[in-house]
């Protein structure tokens, strides 16, 4: 959990459009838009390597202290678009925030531990929505299933949240279910049923 914003010197973009964005990326910059609190959207260029390092260290909800032409502005990372193949950051949306302000964000839920033998652990939800101080957003929330027996479940209301963090998601949201693992005979029966339901090649040819 970050307790202070990461400093990042950025520049104002005067050019807009896809061509300008491509040029910025070739120069090692990330095109970004800063908005919120009734301000006009501001188009920025972020240093790609530094911004990526901040996200690795602080998670997707990283708070940055932007240096814009010598002026400081706190911002929350709201969205990051990553190239699906080359894995570089294509664009970022940043939200203007104020120190001490509460923000609503989604955080990842991570399952840890080994449930009881003979069980199958299924994670139904990978994120939950919370409200927290902008500088106290947890990077993730952990669910410990160590030794948990079949027939148990973890709902959003069961999550152990850090002090000062409030759950916004529906408390009844299913996060993790621990069920009895199917036996080998059950798996064989399912495979046989699936095979019987699949038309033969001769049938398909007809």
Predicted model pTM: 0.80
Q: Which domains does the chain have, with CATH numbers?
A: 6-99 (2.40.240.10), 104-197 (2.170.120.20)
Q: Which two tokens stand for residue 125?
A: 């939800």
* Dihedral sign from CA coordinates of 16, 18, 19, 23: positive
pLDDT tens readout for residues 160-201: 999 999 999 999 999 999 999 987 776 677 777 777 776 655
User: Helix or strand or coil: residue 156?
Assistant: helix
Per-residue pLDDT tens for 62-120? 999 999 999 999 999 999 999 999 999 999 999 999 989 999 999 999 999 999 999 99
**CA–CA distance, 46 with 89 (Å, rounded to integer):** 10
17 pLDDT band (50/70/90 cuts)?
confident
CB atoms within 10 A of CB 121: 19
Is 44:13 a contact under the CB 8 Å cutoff? Answer: yes
């Amino acid at each position: 959990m970050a307790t202070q914003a990461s400093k990042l010197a950025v520049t104002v973009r005067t050019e807009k459009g896809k061509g300008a964005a491509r040029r910025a990326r070739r120069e090692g910059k990330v095109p970004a838009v800063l908005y919120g609190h009734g301000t006009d959207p501001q188009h920025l260029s972020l240093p790609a390597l530094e911004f990526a390092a901040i996200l690795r260290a602080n998670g997707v909800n990283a708070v940055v202290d932007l240096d814009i032409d010598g002026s400081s502005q706190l911002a929350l990372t709201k969205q990051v678009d990553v190239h699906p193949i080359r894995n570089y950051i294509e664009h970022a949306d940043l939200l203007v925030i104020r120190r001490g302000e509460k923000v609503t964000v989604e955080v990842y839920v991570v399952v840890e531990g080994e449930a009881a033998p003979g069980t199958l652990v299924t994670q139904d939800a990978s994120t939950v929505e919370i409200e927290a101080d902008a500088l106290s957003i947890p990077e993730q929330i952990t669910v410990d299933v160590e030794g948990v027996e079949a027939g148990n479940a973890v709902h959003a209301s069961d999550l152990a949240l850090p002090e000062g963090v409030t759950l916004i998601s529906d408390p009844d949201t299913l996060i993790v279910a621990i069920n009895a693992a199917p036996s080998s005979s059950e798996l064989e029966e399912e495979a046989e049923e699936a095979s019987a339901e699949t038309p033969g090649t001769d049938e398909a040819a007809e």
